[in-house]
Amino acid sequence: MGHSFLEKETLYNQNPYCHWCKKLMHLYRAGDIKQYEQIPDDAATVEHIYPHGSKQRNWYKSHHIRSPIVLACLKCNGERGCMPYEKFKEKMNGI
């Protein structure tokens, strides 16, 4: 299930900084970026705390509860991929 722009905007208004790198993100609406343009690395994206297929995420799904989300910039969200939360947190903290 996708996330609505309103949901993303609400999270952005609470904290416009990337969950991982703490850089200021930009919230783009559909149509802000032309079809032939590349989406900027600072674009705010929905980041699932528990990646698809993880035990934690499956638990939320089996109980019909939405798993926790935050916003992350496109660059960090792409780098994390399906890496577990704690492992990526260590990577970002240089541990």
What contacts 54, CB < 8 A, 6 or more positions away? Answer: 82, 84
Are the CB atoms for 79 and 47 separated by under 8 Å? no
Is residue 16 pLDDT above 60, yes or no?
yes
Computed over every residue of the chain, the mean pLDDT equals: 84
Answering whether pTM is above 0.85, one says no
Q: How much is the average pLDDT of 43-62?
A: 76
